Amino acid sequence: IIPGVIMNKDVVHSAMRRRIENPRVIILDVGLEINKTTGNVKIEKAEEFEETMKLEEENVRKMVMDIIKLKPDLVITEKGISDEAQHFFVKHGITALRRLRKSINDRIARATGATIVNRPEELQESDVGTQCTLFTVEKIGD
């Protein structure tokens, strides 16, 4: 029996740590990426598109900074993580996993003592999981 959670995932960026002792864990059920529009949006000028993209990028940057403030070692999300968010995480020594199933996130939350959060701006110290003694990524098999 292995105490903990095993999953088939790798870190989102090759420069991220694959072994962390006593990590501070944040679990999200929101993506850290530019929102994909689900309706019809009419953009008539290139400047409008550029402005919309700038606003989306700024929203992602703000979410990432809200996370970084709590100094996590590991961020886990059910959704995606943009290249820009990955860049900031690598720059701050934070490892990230993306697109985990809700059932796996629930297990990780129980094992680490973390609270699953859906609004990064509402993150608090009490949401950070600190009960994990070792996070490691290992290749098994071929």
Quick one: pLDDT band at residue 37, thresholds 50, 70, 90?
Answer: low
Whole-prediction pTM: 0.86
Confidence of residue 41 (pLDDT cuts 50, 70, 90): low
Q: So what's the pLDDT on residue 87?
A: 94
Question: How many other CB atoms are found less than 10 A from the CB of residue 72?
Answer: 25
pLDDT at 88 over 70: yes
Q: 3-class SS at 117?
A: strand
What is the pLDDT, as a whole number, of residue 1? 61
**Average pLDDT rounded to a whole number, residues 98-114:** 95
What CA–CA distance (Å, rounded) separates 78 from 99?
4
pLDDT band at 39 (very low <50, low <70, confident <90, very high): low
Q: Which residues pair with 32 in a beta bridge?
A: 81
